[in-house]
Amino acid sequence: MIDFSIPAELVAERDRVRQFVIDKIVPFERDPRLTAHGPTDELRQELVELARAEKLLTVQAPEALGGRGLTHIEQAVIYEAAGWSTLGPIAMNCAAPDEGNMFLLSKIANPDQVERYLAPVIAGHQRSVFAMTEPDGAGSDPAQLATEAVFDGENFVVNGRKWLITGANGAKTWIIMAKLVEGPHLADAGLQPGPTLFLTDGDQPGIVIERTMNTMDRNYVAGHGVVRFDNLTLPTSALLGDTGQALRYAQLRLAPARLTHCMRWLGAAERAQSIAVEHARTRTAFGKPIGEHEGVSFMLADNEVALHQCRLTIWHACWLMDKGEKARHESSMAKSFVSEELFKVADRCVQVLGGIGISDETVVEMIFRDIRAFRLYDGPTEVHKYAIGRHVLRG
Protein backbone atom coordinates (compact mmCIF):
# COMPACT_ATOMS: atom_id res chain seq x y z
CA MET A 1 0.00 0.00 0.00
CA ILE A 2 1.20 3.51 -0.82
CA ASP A 3 -0.03 6.14 1.62
CA PHE A 4 0.86 9.82 1.30
CA SER A 5 -1.28 10.99 4.20
CA ILE A 6 0.24 12.89 7.12
CA PRO A 7 -1.00 12.01 10.63
CA ALA A 8 -3.25 14.66 12.16
CA GLU A 9 -0.81 15.32 15.02
CA LEU A 10 2.02 15.97 12.55
CA VAL A 11 -0.19 18.29 10.50
CA ALA A 12 -1.00 20.25 13.65
CA GLU A 13 2.68 20.50 14.59
CA ARG A 14 3.62 21.53 11.05
CA ASP A 15 1.06 24.31 11.15
CA ARG A 16 2.25 25.40 14.59
CA VAL A 17 5.84 25.58 13.39
CA ARG A 18 4.87 27.55 10.28
CA GLN A 19 2.83 30.03 12.34
CA PHE A 20 5.66 30.39 14.86
CA VAL A 21 8.06 31.25 12.04
CA ILE A 22 5.62 33.74 10.49
CA ASP A 23 4.73 35.46 13.76
CA LYS A 24 8.00 35.39 15.69
CA ILE A 25 10.88 34.86 13.24
CA VAL A 26 10.00 36.62 9.97
CA PRO A 27 10.14 40.08 11.66
CA PHE A 28 13.86 39.52 12.30
CA GLU A 29 14.60 39.31 8.57
CA ARG A 30 15.09 43.09 8.62
CA ASP A 31 17.25 43.02 11.73
CA PRO A 32 20.68 44.65 11.15
CA ARG A 33 22.23 41.68 12.95
CA LEU A 34 21.43 39.63 9.84
CA THR A 35 24.70 40.64 8.20
CA ALA A 36 26.39 39.88 4.90
CA HIS A 37 28.01 36.94 6.71
CA GLY A 38 24.74 35.67 8.14
CA PRO A 39 23.15 36.15 11.55
CA THR A 40 25.36 37.18 14.43
CA ASP A 41 25.63 34.99 17.50
CA GLU A 42 23.63 37.56 19.41
CA LEU A 43 20.74 37.31 16.94
CA ARG A 44 20.98 33.53 16.89
CA GLN A 45 20.71 33.33 20.66
CA GLU A 46 17.66 35.60 20.68
CA LEU A 47 15.97 33.43 18.06
CA VAL A 48 16.89 30.23 19.92
CA GLU A 49 15.24 31.54 23.07
CA LEU A 50 12.03 32.22 21.14
CA ALA A 51 11.98 28.61 19.94
CA ARG A 52 12.84 27.34 23.40
CA ALA A 53 9.84 29.22 24.84
CA GLU A 54 7.58 27.44 22.32
CA LYS A 55 9.20 24.05 23.00
CA LEU A 56 10.37 23.93 19.40
CA LEU A 57 14.12 23.80 20.05
CA THR A 58 16.15 20.90 18.61
CA VAL A 59 13.08 18.72 18.22
CA GLN A 60 15.04 16.35 15.95
CA ALA A 61 17.45 15.23 18.69
CA PRO A 62 17.14 11.72 20.14
CA GLU A 63 14.68 11.47 23.02
CA ALA A 64 17.47 10.30 25.33
CA LEU A 65 19.23 13.62 24.68
CA GLY A 66 16.20 15.84 25.18
CA GLY A 67 14.63 15.90 21.72
CA ARG A 68 11.60 14.17 20.24
CA GLY A 69 13.50 11.66 18.13
CA LEU A 70 11.74 12.62 14.89
CA THR A 71 11.72 10.14 12.04
CA HIS A 72 13.12 11.31 8.72
CA ILE A 73 9.61 11.78 7.34
CA GLU A 74 8.63 13.82 10.38
CA GLN A 75 11.74 15.93 9.93
CA ALA A 76 10.78 16.53 6.30
CA VAL A 77 7.41 17.93 7.29
CA ILE A 78 8.68 20.05 10.19
CA TYR A 79 11.82 21.36 8.48
CA GLU A 80 9.83 22.42 5.43
CA ALA A 81 7.60 24.47 7.71
CA ALA A 82 10.62 25.92 9.54
CA GLY A 83 12.26 26.86 6.22
CA TRP A 84 9.55 29.46 5.47
CA SER A 85 12.18 31.89 6.76
CA THR A 86 15.91 31.19 6.39
CA LEU A 87 16.09 32.18 10.06
CA GLY A 88 13.53 29.52 11.05
CA PRO A 89 15.93 26.55 11.15
CA ILE A 90 18.47 28.68 13.02
CA ALA A 91 15.88 29.51 15.67
CA MET A 92 14.83 25.88 16.02
CA ASN A 93 18.45 24.66 16.05
CA CYS A 94 17.97 22.42 13.03
CA ALA A 95 20.12 24.38 10.57
CA ALA A 96 23.39 23.27 9.01
CA PRO A 97 26.05 22.53 10.05
CA ASP A 98 24.79 21.95 13.61
CA GLU A 99 21.95 19.64 12.60
CA GLY A 100 24.26 17.27 10.71
CA ASN A 101 26.94 17.47 13.40
CA MET A 102 24.44 16.62 16.13
CA PHE A 103 23.31 13.61 14.10
CA LEU A 104 26.88 12.37 13.67
CA LEU A 105 27.88 12.92 17.29
CA SER A 106 24.75 11.14 18.52
CA LYS A 107 25.88 8.10 16.52
CA ILE A 108 29.61 7.83 17.26
CA ALA A 109 30.58 10.05 20.21
CA ASN A 110 31.35 8.34 23.52
CA PRO A 111 29.41 9.32 26.68
CA ASP A 112 32.03 11.81 27.87
CA GLN A 113 32.11 13.47 24.44
CA VAL A 114 28.32 13.60 24.35
CA GLU A 115 28.22 15.42 27.67
CA ARG A 116 31.02 17.85 26.85
CA TYR A 117 30.51 18.57 23.16
CA LEU A 118 27.06 17.43 22.03
CA ALA A 119 24.73 18.29 24.90
CA PRO A 120 25.50 22.05 24.83
CA VAL A 121 24.82 22.13 21.06
CA ILE A 122 21.50 20.32 21.49
CA ALA A 123 20.60 22.78 24.25
CA GLY A 124 21.26 25.67 21.87
CA HIS A 125 24.03 27.11 24.04
CA GLN A 126 26.84 26.69 21.53
CA ARG A 127 27.50 26.02 17.86
CA SER A 128 29.57 23.40 16.06
CA VAL A 129 31.62 23.04 12.89
CA PHE A 130 32.66 20.21 10.60
CA ALA A 131 36.13 21.08 9.32
CA MET A 132 36.82 19.02 6.21
CA THR A 133 37.00 21.20 3.06
CA GLU A 134 40.45 22.42 2.03
CA PRO A 135 41.77 24.96 -0.51
CA ASP A 136 43.87 22.39 -2.36
CA GLY A 137 41.32 19.69 -3.05
CA ALA A 138 39.59 17.98 -0.15
CA GLY A 139 35.88 18.72 -0.38
CA SER A 140 33.77 16.85 -2.88
CA ASP A 141 36.72 14.46 -3.03
CA PRO A 142 37.79 14.04 0.61
CA ALA A 143 40.41 11.51 -0.48
CA GLN A 144 42.59 14.54 -1.33
CA LEU A 145 42.80 15.39 2.37
CA ALA A 146 46.05 17.26 3.06
CA THR A 147 45.67 18.25 6.72
CA GLU A 148 47.81 15.83 8.72
CA ALA A 149 47.78 14.52 12.27
CA VAL A 150 50.94 13.01 13.76
CA PHE A 151 50.84 10.86 16.90
CA ASP A 152 53.87 11.51 19.11
CA GLY A 153 53.16 8.71 21.53
CA GLU A 154 51.01 10.87 23.81
CA ASN A 155 49.15 13.47 21.73
CA PHE A 156 48.04 14.09 18.17
CA VAL A 157 49.57 17.16 16.52
CA VAL A 158 47.46 18.56 13.68
CA ASN A 159 48.68 20.89 10.94
CA GLY A 160 46.89 22.08 7.83
CA ARG A 161 44.50 24.59 6.38
CA LYS A 162 40.74 24.51 5.77
CA TRP A 163 38.31 26.86 4.12
CA LEU A 164 34.57 27.25 3.58
CA ILE A 165 34.21 26.09 7.19
CA THR A 166 30.66 27.15 8.01
CA GLY A 167 30.23 28.92 11.33
CA ALA A 168 33.91 28.65 12.30
CA ASN A 169 34.06 32.04 13.98
CA GLY A 170 32.70 31.59 17.50
CA ALA A 171 31.87 27.88 17.33
CA LYS A 172 32.72 25.88 20.45
CA THR A 173 32.39 22.25 19.28
CA TRP A 174 34.82 21.34 16.49
CA ILE A 175 34.86 18.16 14.43
CA ILE A 176 38.12 18.09 12.45
CA MET A 177 39.05 15.70 9.67
CA ALA A 178 42.77 15.05 9.27
CA LYS A 179 44.94 12.36 7.72
CA LEU A 180 46.58 10.36 10.50
CA VAL A 181 50.05 9.57 9.20
CA GLU A 182 51.91 6.32 9.72
CA GLY A 183 54.68 6.20 12.30
CA PRO A 184 56.26 4.02 14.99
CA HIS A 185 54.24 5.57 17.81
CA LEU A 186 51.02 4.95 15.91
CA ALA A 187 51.77 1.29 15.38
CA ASP A 188 52.84 0.84 19.00
CA ALA A 189 49.49 2.24 20.14
CA GLY A 190 47.60 -0.12 17.84
CA LEU A 191 46.06 2.76 15.86
CA GLN A 192 45.30 2.68 12.14
CA PRO A 193 46.52 5.47 9.83
CA GLY A 194 44.23 7.29 7.42
CA PRO A 195 41.50 9.93 7.48
CA THR A 196 40.43 10.40 11.10
CA LEU A 197 37.97 12.60 12.99
CA PHE A 198 38.93 14.61 16.07
CA LEU A 199 36.68 16.44 18.51
CA THR A 200 37.85 19.51 20.38
CA ASP A 201 37.02 22.95 21.76
CA GLY A 202 37.00 25.90 19.38
CA ASP A 203 39.18 28.05 21.62
CA GLN A 204 41.96 25.47 21.68
CA PRO A 205 45.46 26.93 21.02
CA GLY A 206 46.46 26.00 17.49
CA ILE A 207 43.10 26.77 15.86
CA VAL A 208 43.60 30.00 13.95
CA ILE A 209 40.65 31.71 12.23
CA GLU A 210 42.37 33.58 9.41
CA ARG A 211 39.31 35.32 8.02
CA THR A 212 35.64 35.08 7.12
CA MET A 213 35.09 34.65 3.40
CA ASN A 214 32.79 36.92 1.42
CA THR A 215 30.15 34.66 -0.14
CA MET A 216 26.82 35.17 -1.88
CA ASP A 217 24.83 33.31 0.79
CA ARG A 218 24.07 34.62 4.27
CA ASN A 219 21.86 32.05 5.92
CA TYR A 220 24.38 30.49 8.33
CA VAL A 221 25.66 32.01 11.55
CA ALA A 222 29.07 33.67 11.14
CA GLY A 223 29.41 32.74 7.46
CA HIS A 224 32.25 30.56 6.12
CA GLY A 225 35.77 30.77 7.51
CA VAL A 226 39.35 30.11 6.48
CA VAL A 227 41.06 28.17 9.26
CA ARG A 228 44.64 27.14 9.94
CA PHE A 229 45.72 24.40 12.33
CA ASP A 230 49.12 25.38 13.68
CA ASN A 231 50.51 22.52 15.76
CA LEU A 232 47.08 21.91 17.24
CA THR A 233 47.81 19.45 20.03
CA LEU A 234 45.04 17.05 21.00
CA PRO A 235 44.95 14.23 23.57
CA THR A 236 43.85 10.71 22.69
CA SER A 237 40.45 11.52 24.23
CA ALA A 238 39.90 13.83 21.23
CA LEU A 239 39.55 10.85 18.88
CA LEU A 240 36.02 10.69 17.49
CA GLY A 241 35.23 7.09 16.66
CA ASP A 242 37.95 4.82 15.29
CA THR A 243 41.09 6.03 13.53
CA GLY A 244 41.18 5.74 9.76
CA GLN A 245 37.37 5.74 9.48
CA ALA A 246 36.61 9.41 8.80
CA LEU A 247 35.36 8.91 5.25
CA ARG A 248 32.89 6.28 6.40
CA TYR A 249 31.69 8.55 9.19
CA ALA A 250 31.39 11.45 6.75
CA GLN A 251 29.05 9.36 4.61
CA LEU A 252 27.03 8.52 7.72
CA ARG A 253 26.58 12.25 8.26
CA LEU A 254 26.13 13.33 4.65
CA ALA A 255 23.28 11.09 3.48
CA PRO A 256 20.69 12.48 5.93
CA ALA A 257 22.27 15.97 5.85
CA ARG A 258 21.68 16.17 2.09
CA LEU A 259 18.01 15.54 2.71
CA THR A 260 17.64 18.02 5.54
CA HIS A 261 19.13 20.69 3.25
CA CYS A 262 16.43 19.79 0.73
CA MET A 263 13.68 19.98 3.34
CA ARG A 264 14.64 23.43 4.59
CA TRP A 265 15.13 24.94 1.15
CA LEU A 266 11.82 23.53 -0.02
CA GLY A 267 10.20 25.71 2.63
CA ALA A 268 12.14 28.76 1.48
CA ALA A 269 11.19 28.15 -2.16
CA GLU A 270 7.54 27.88 -1.12
CA ARG A 271 7.89 31.28 0.54
CA ALA A 272 9.32 32.75 -2.66
CA GLN A 273 6.45 31.23 -4.67
CA SER A 274 3.85 32.69 -2.30
CA ILE A 275 5.35 36.16 -2.73
CA ALA A 276 5.45 35.79 -6.52
CA VAL A 277 1.84 34.56 -6.61
CA GLU A 278 0.60 37.50 -4.54
CA HIS A 279 2.50 39.91 -6.80
CA ALA A 280 1.02 38.25 -9.91
CA ARG A 281 -2.47 38.72 -8.46
CA THR A 282 -2.06 42.42 -7.69
CA ARG A 283 0.42 43.82 -10.21
CA THR A 284 -1.25 44.88 -13.46
CA ALA A 285 0.08 45.29 -16.97
CA PHE A 286 -1.68 45.69 -20.29
CA GLY A 287 -5.11 45.91 -18.73
CA LYS A 288 -5.10 42.96 -16.30
CA PRO A 289 -3.17 41.32 -13.47
CA ILE A 290 0.12 39.95 -14.75
CA GLY A 291 -0.82 36.50 -13.46
CA GLU A 292 -3.49 36.33 -16.12
CA HIS A 293 -0.84 36.63 -18.83
CA GLU A 294 0.27 33.24 -20.04
CA GLY A 295 3.99 33.99 -19.67
CA VAL A 296 3.62 34.61 -15.94
CA SER A 297 0.98 31.96 -15.20
CA PHE A 298 3.10 29.29 -16.87
CA MET A 299 6.09 30.18 -14.67
CA LEU A 300 3.93 29.91 -11.56
CA ALA A 301 2.55 26.60 -12.82
CA ASP A 302 6.06 25.26 -13.45
CA ASN A 303 6.95 26.26 -9.91
CA GLU A 304 3.96 24.47 -8.46
CA VAL A 305 4.86 21.28 -10.31
CA ALA A 306 8.51 21.51 -9.22
CA LEU A 307 7.64 22.07 -5.56
CA HIS A 308 5.35 19.03 -5.60
CA GLN A 309 7.93 16.83 -7.30
CA CYS A 310 10.64 17.93 -4.88
CA ARG A 311 8.48 17.14 -1.88
CA LEU A 312 7.69 13.64 -3.16
CA THR A 313 11.36 12.98 -3.94
CA ILE A 314 12.37 13.99 -0.41
CA TRP A 315 9.63 11.93 1.18
CA HIS A 316 10.59 8.82 -0.78
CA ALA A 317 14.22 8.98 0.34
CA CYS A 318 13.09 9.63 3.92
CA TRP A 319 10.74 6.66 3.76
CA LEU A 320 13.61 4.41 2.74
CA MET A 321 15.81 5.68 5.56
CA ASP A 322 13.03 5.23 8.08
CA LYS A 323 12.86 1.59 6.92
CA GLY A 324 16.51 1.23 7.89
CA GLU A 325 18.04 1.52 4.43
CA LYS A 326 21.12 3.71 3.85
CA ALA A 327 19.48 5.26 0.75
CA ARG A 328 22.75 6.80 -0.39
CA HIS A 329 21.71 6.52 -4.04
CA GLU A 330 18.25 7.96 -3.40
CA SER A 331 19.53 10.78 -1.20
CA SER A 332 22.08 11.65 -3.86
CA MET A 333 19.33 11.75 -6.50
CA ALA A 334 17.21 13.90 -4.18
CA LYS A 335 20.03 16.36 -3.51
CA SER A 336 20.90 16.81 -7.19
CA PHE A 337 17.29 17.03 -8.38
CA VAL A 338 15.86 19.18 -5.59
CA SER A 339 18.71 21.70 -5.55
CA GLU A 340 18.44 22.25 -9.30
CA GLU A 341 14.64 22.46 -9.33
CA LEU A 342 14.40 24.81 -6.37
CA PHE A 343 16.94 27.12 -7.97
CA LYS A 344 14.72 27.25 -11.05
CA VAL A 345 11.74 28.00 -8.79
CA ALA A 346 13.57 30.88 -7.13
CA ASP A 347 14.77 32.19 -10.50
CA ARG A 348 11.25 32.20 -11.91
CA CYS A 349 10.02 34.02 -8.79
CA VAL A 350 12.59 36.76 -9.40
CA GLN A 351 11.38 36.97 -13.00
CA VAL A 352 7.71 37.25 -11.98
CA LEU A 353 8.56 40.03 -9.52
CA GLY A 354 10.41 41.98 -12.18
CA GLY A 355 12.47 44.90 -10.92
CA ILE A 356 11.69 44.37 -7.25
CA GLY A 357 12.82 40.77 -7.62
CA ILE A 358 16.45 41.88 -7.67
CA SER A 359 15.96 44.26 -4.75
CA ASP A 360 15.56 43.66 -1.04
CA GLU A 361 11.95 44.86 -1.14
CA THR A 362 11.13 41.17 -0.61
CA VAL A 363 13.17 38.23 0.68
CA VAL A 364 13.06 36.58 -2.74
CA GLU A 365 16.43 37.96 -3.81
CA MET A 366 18.04 36.58 -0.63
CA ILE A 367 16.36 33.21 -1.11
CA PHE A 368 17.57 33.22 -4.74
CA ARG A 369 21.19 33.79 -3.69
CA ASP A 370 21.04 31.24 -0.92
CA ILE A 371 19.42 28.56 -3.09
CA ARG A 372 22.07 29.13 -5.73
CA ALA A 373 24.62 28.15 -3.11
CA PHE A 374 22.49 25.13 -2.17
CA ARG A 375 23.45 23.60 -5.52
CA LEU A 376 26.96 23.26 -4.02
CA TYR A 377 26.27 22.40 -0.37
CA ASP A 378 27.05 18.78 0.57
CA GLY A 379 28.33 18.03 -2.90
CA PRO A 380 27.70 19.89 -6.17
CA THR A 381 25.15 18.50 -8.58
CA GLU A 382 27.84 17.20 -10.93
CA VAL A 383 29.47 15.07 -8.23
CA HIS A 384 26.12 13.55 -7.32
CA LYS A 385 25.36 12.84 -10.97
CA TYR A 386 28.75 11.19 -11.31
CA ALA A 387 27.91 8.92 -8.36
CA ILE A 388 24.43 8.25 -9.72
CA GLY A 389 25.86 7.37 -13.12
CA ARG A 390 28.32 4.89 -11.60
CA HIS A 391 25.49 3.29 -9.67
CA VAL A 392 23.43 2.94 -12.86
CA LEU A 393 26.33 1.38 -14.78
CA ARG A 394 26.92 -1.14 -12.02
CA GLY A 395 23.33 -2.24 -12.48
* Contact by Cβ (8 Å): 51, 67: no
Task: Give 232's strand partners.
Answer: 158
- Roughly what angle, to the nearest 10 degrees, separates helices 328-353 and 246-282? 30
Please, what are the domains in the chain? 8-95 (1.10.540.10), 128-243 (2.40.110.10), 248-394 (1.20.140.10)
Given a cut of 80, whether residue 103 has pLDDT beyond it is yes
Q: What is the sign of the dihedral through the CA atoms of 331, 335, 336 and 341?
A: positive
pLDDT, tens digit (0-9, with 9 covering 90-100), for 4-49: 999 999 999 999 999 999 999 999 999 999 999 999 999 999 999 9
Residue 385: partners with Cβ closer than 8 Å, 6 or more residues away: 336
Q: Cα separation of 18 and 25, whole Å?
A: 10
Please tell me the pTM assigned to this model: 0.96
395 — pLDDT class (breaks 50, 70, 90)? confident
Per-residue burial over 31-68, b if 16 or more Cβ lie within 10 Å, else e, is eeebeebbbbbebbeebbebbbeeebbbbbbeeebebe
Given a cut of 80, whether residue 1 has pLDDT beyond it is no
* Contact by Cβ (8 Å): 364, 353: yes
Q: Cα separation of 68 and 93, whole Å?
A: 13
Backbone angles phi, psi at 176, to 5 degrees: -120, 130
Angular region, 163: left φ>0, alpha ψ -120 to 50, beta rest: beta
Residue 149: partners with Cβ closer than 8 Å, 6 or more residues away: 156, 157, 158, 178, 179, 180, 181, 196, 198, 234
Which helix H or strand E contains 310, and what residues bound it?
Answer: helix 294-322
Specify the pLDDT at position 2.
79
Q: Cα separation of 127 and 125, whole Å?
A: 7
Given a cut of 80, whether residue 55 has pLDDT beyond it is yes
Q: What is the sign of the dihedral through the CA atoms of 133, 137, 143 and 145?
A: negative
Residue 331: partners with Cβ closer than 8 Å, 6 or more residues away: 255, 256, 258, 259, 317, 321
Kind of pairing, strands 38-39 and 194-201? unpaired
Residue 136: partners with Cβ closer than 8 Å, 6 or more residues away: 144, 146
pLDDT, tens digit (0-9, with 9 covering 90-100), for 348-375: 999 999 999 999 999 999 999 999 999 9
Per-residue burial over 264-274, b if 16 or more Cβ lie within 10 Å, else e, is bbbbbbbbbbe
Q: Cα separation of 34 and 67, whole Å?
A: 27
Kind of pairing, strands 128-131 and 173-180? parallel
210 — pLDDT class (breaks 50, 70, 90)? very high
Given a cut of 90, whether residue 234 has pLDDT beyond it is yes
